C-alpha cells in the first residue's frame, strides 16, 4: 500500500503557524514513507473562499518546501457530492431538517439549562412526508443531517492510542446546508474515499469529527478506512489559544515582516511537542529523515516567537553564500560578496540584519573620541593594503608592543573606533571589508 495523505485548507484566510503544522506533519510522513502528498482546497464556501487566499496558500506551501504531488479543488466536485447525497437518501441515512439557526440555538440553551448535553433531538425525524412536502411548498429549504447509528465508534489513533466515542453523545451532523452547500464533514469523507487517502493526520480538535466521519465512511463505501492520528494543538508561550487574531503568526507575516527562514519554521514545528530535541535543519531532506510520527507527545506544545527567532539565527549562521546570494542582491545594497557574507553571517538573526553591517563596512559610523592618543598610535601602525585575515593580528600585535596594552583595553577601543559599536563580526574578517582609507579616517576621528 502506497501512503497517501492530504492537506485540505480552506481558502477563507491565510495559512498560520497552527494550521501549517498539519501540512508539515502530513508532508514529512508521506516523504518518510515514500508516499504521496495531496493539496486539496476546501473551497465549497463560495462566500468566504477567495482566489487570492488560495494563491497565497499555494505560495506559502511552496516557500516552505512542502511541494505536493497532486492537487484537487472541492468546488469542482459538487456533482459527486450530489450523487453521494442521493445514495444516502435512498438508504435512509440522511434526513431533511427545517429548524432555523435561532431555533436550534434555543434548543441547545434549553438542554444546557436542564443539565443535558446540547445534542440535536432528531425532531425532524418525526415529520411525515406530507409535512415535509408542505414545508417545501412554502419555500422552506431543508438542511440535511446524517443519521448516526447509536453505537460506540472505536479506532486506534496513531498518536492518542485507542479511542472510543459513543455516537449517542453526538448530534447527527449537518452535511448539506439549506443553501445546498456541502460541508466539510461530508466532503472530506467523499474525497478521501474517492482519492484513496490512506492516513489522516490532523489536530485533536477533529477527534469528534473522526467519530462521525468513520460512520459516514462506512455508509458511503466499503473501502478500508484510513488510519487516523490526532496531534495536540499549539498554544502561545503563555498557554493562550492560538486564534486567527494572531495575525503576526501567519506564514506571510513571518516571511515578509519578520524575515524568518522557511527552514526555521519547519525545523521548529516538526519537533515542537515531540520527544526529539529542537535543532536547526539545513534542508527538508534531513528533516524528513529525522521525522517519526510516534515521537509526537500528547502534551500540549507551546509556541514561542522568541524560540523561533533563536532557531532562525542558528540557521542564518550556517547558510552558504550560494543559497542567499540572490536574496542579498534583492536587498538593494550593492554587490554583496561571499567574503562579506562569511564575515557577518554569525552576527545575524535574519537576513535583513545584513543592512547595518553593510553600512558599517561602507558608510559612516559614530566618531569615537576617547583614547585619542592610543588611536593615533594605532593609525601610525596601520599596514598598507592589500589586507587579508592575518592583517588584524599583525596590526594589533604591533600596537600591543608599542603601547603595552592587551586584552579588552587593546581590542575594544579599536573595534569601537572602526565599527561604532562594541560587538560584531570577528575583526580579522571585517577589517579588510572596511579597507585602509575608511579605517584611517575613523581612527583619526
Q: What is the CATH number of the domain that holds 298?
A: 3.40.50.620
Q: Is 2 exposed, middle or buried (0-12, 13-18, 19+ CB in 10 A)?
A: exposed
How do the pLDDT tens digits run along the chain, 445 residues long?
899 999 999 999 999 998 999 999 999 999 999 999 999 999 999 889 999 999 999 999 999 999 999 999 999 999 999 999 999 999 999 999 999 999 999 999 999 999 988 999 999 999 999 999 999 999 999 999 999 999 999 999 999 999 999 999 999 999 999 999 999 999 999 999 999 999 999 999 999 999 999 999 999 999 999 999 999 999 988 888 876 545 568 999 999 999 999 999 999 999 999 999 999 999 999 999 999 999 999 999 999 999 999 999 999 999 999 999 999 999 999 999 999 999 999 999 999 999 999 999 999 999 988 899 999 999 999 999 999 999 999 999 999 999 999 999 999 999 999 999 999 999 999 999 999 999 999 999 8
Q: How many domains does one find in the chain?
A: 4
Do 146 and 179 fall into the same domain? yes
Do 245 and 266 fall into the same domain? yes
* C-alpha dist (Å) from residue 4 to 63, 197, 230: 22, 5, 17
Q: Is residue 387 part of a domain?
A: yes
CB 61 within 8 A of CB 266: no
CB 365 within 8 A of CB 352: no
Among 231, 259, 278, the domain boundary falls at: 231
Distance CA 372, CA 351 (A): 35
What is the residue whose three cell numbers read 535543532? 279
179-209 residues labelled b (16+ CB within 10 A) or e (exposed) = eeebbbbbbbbbbbbeeebbbbbbbbebbbb
Q: Is residue 309 part of a domain?
A: yes
Do 55 and 73 fall into the same domain? no
Do 178 and 275 fall into the same domain? no
Closest to 324 measured CA to CA, from 338, 309, 310: 338
> How many helices and strands (H and E) does the chain possess?
18, 12
Distance CA 333, CA 278 (A): 34
Among 362, 393, 426, the domain boundary falls at: 362
What is the residue whose three cell numbers read 498560520? 16
**CATH code at 407?**
1.10.10.350
Do 74 and 211 fall into the same domain? yes
Distance CA 61, CA 65 (A): 6
Q: Is residue 73 part of a domain?
A: yes
Do 136 and 220 fall into the same domain? yes
Do 104 and 53 fall into the same domain? no
Alpha helices in 151-228 (DSSP H): 184-195, 207-220
Q: Rounded to an integer, what is the distance from CA 303 to the centroid of its chain? A: 11
* C-alpha dist (Å) from residue 304 to 265, 282, 349, 377: 11, 21, 16, 49
Do 59 and 75 fall into the same domain? no
Among 179, 203, 231, the domain boundary falls at: 231
Q: Is residue 252 part of a domain?
A: yes
Distance CA 27, CA 66 (A): 6
Closest to 195 measured CA to CA, from 21, 29, 40: 40
Q: Is residue 44 part of a domain?
A: yes
Q: Is residue 367 part of a domain?
A: no
User: Which three cell numbers, joined as nine digits, stand for 24?
Assistant: 508539515
Distance CA 93, CA 87 (A): 9
Closest to 303 measured CA to CA, from 350, 254, 351, 349: 254
Beta-bridged to residue 241, according to DSSP, are 235
CB 35 within 8 A of CB 226: no
39 phi, psi to nearest 5 deg: -100, 120
User: Which three cell numbers, joined as nine digits, stand for 434?
Assistant: 572596511
Domain that holds residue 336: 321-362
Q: Is residue 56 part of a domain?
A: yes
Do 98 and 204 fall into the same domain? yes
Distance CA 131, CA 300 (A): 49
Do 238 and 224 fall into the same domain? no
Q: Is residue 15 part of a domain?
A: yes
Do 220 and 75 fall into the same domain? yes
Residue 360 exposure: Cα atoms within 13 Å on the Cβ side: 24
Do 90 and 223 fall into the same domain? yes
Amino acid at each position: 500500500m502506497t501512503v497517501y495523505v492530504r492537506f485540505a485548507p480552506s481558502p477563507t484566510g491565510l495559512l498560520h503557524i497552527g494550521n501549517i503544522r498539519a501540512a508539515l506533519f502530513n508532508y514529512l510522513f508521506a516523504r518518510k514513507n515514500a508516499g504521496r502528498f495531496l493539496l486539496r482546497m476546501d473551497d465549497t464556501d463560495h462566500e468566504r473562499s477567495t482566489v487570492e487566499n488560495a494563491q497565497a496558500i499555494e505560495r506559502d506551501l511552496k516557500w516552505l518546501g512542502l511541494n505536493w504531488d497532486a492537487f484537487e479543488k472541492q468546488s469542482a466536485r459538487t456533482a459527486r457530492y450530489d450523487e453521494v447525497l442521493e445514495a444516502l437518501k435512498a438508504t435512509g441515512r440522511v434526513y431533511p431538517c427545517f429548524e432555523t439557526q435561532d431555533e436550534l440555538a434555543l434548543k441547545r440553551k434549553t438542554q444546557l439549562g436542564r443539565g443535558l448535553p446540547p445534542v440535536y433531538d432528531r425532531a425532524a425525524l418525526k415529520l411525515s412526508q406530507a409535512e415535509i412536502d408542505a414545508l417545501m411548498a412554502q419555500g422552506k429549504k431543508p438542511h440535511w443531517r446524517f443519521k448516526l447509528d447509536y453505537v460506540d465508534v472505536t479506532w486506534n489513533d496513531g498518536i492518542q492510542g485507542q479511542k472510543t466515542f459513543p455516537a449517542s453523545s453526538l448530534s447527527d451532523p449537518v452535511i448539506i446546508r439549506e443553501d445546498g452547500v456541502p460541508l466539510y464533514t461530508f466532503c472530506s469523507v467523499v474525497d478521501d474515499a474517492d482519492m484513496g487517502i490512506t492516513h489522516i493526520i490532523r489536530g485533536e480538535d477533529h477527534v469528534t469529527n473522526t467519530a462521525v466521519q468513520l460512520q459516514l465512511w462506512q455508509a458511503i463505501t466499503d473501502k478500508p478506512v484510513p488510519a487516523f492520528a490526532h496531534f495536540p494543538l499549539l498554544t502561545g508561550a503563555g498557554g493562550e489559544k492560538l486564534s486567527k487574531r494572531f495575525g503576526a503568526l501567519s506564514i506571510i507575516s513571518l516571511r515578509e515582516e519578520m524575515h524568518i527562514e522557511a527552514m526555521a519554521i519547519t525545523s521548529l514545528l516538526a519537533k515542537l511537542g515531540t520527544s526529539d530535541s529542537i535543532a536547526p535543519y539545513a534542508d527538508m531532506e534531513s528533516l524528513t529523515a529525522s521525522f517519526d510520527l510516534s515521537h509526537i507527545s500528547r502534551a500540549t506544545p507551546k509556541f514561542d516567537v522568541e524560540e523561533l527567532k533563536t532557531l532562525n539565527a542558528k540557521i542564518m549562521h550556517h547558510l552558504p553564500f550560494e543559497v542567499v546570494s540572490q536574496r542579498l542582491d534583492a536587498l538593494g545594497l550593492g554587490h554583496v560578496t561571499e567574503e562579506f557574507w562569511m564575515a557577518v553571517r554569525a552576527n545575524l538573526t535574519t537576513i535583513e540584519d545584513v543592512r547595518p553591517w553593510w553600512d558599517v563596512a561602507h558608510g559612516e559610523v559614530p566618531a569615537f573620541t576617547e583614547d585619542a592618543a592610543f588611536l593615533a598610535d594605532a593609525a601610525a601602525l596601520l599596514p598598507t593594503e592589500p589586507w587579508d585575515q592575518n592583517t588584524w593580528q599583525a596590526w594589533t600585535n604591533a600596537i600591543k608592543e608599542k603601547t603595552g596594552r592587551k586584552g579588552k583595553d587593546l581590542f575594544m577601543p579599536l573595534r569601537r573606533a572602526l565599527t561604532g559599536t562594541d560587538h560584531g563580526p570577528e575583526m580579522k574578517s571585517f577589517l579588510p571589508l572596511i579597507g585602509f582609507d575608511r579605517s584611517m579616517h575613523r581612527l583619526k576621528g
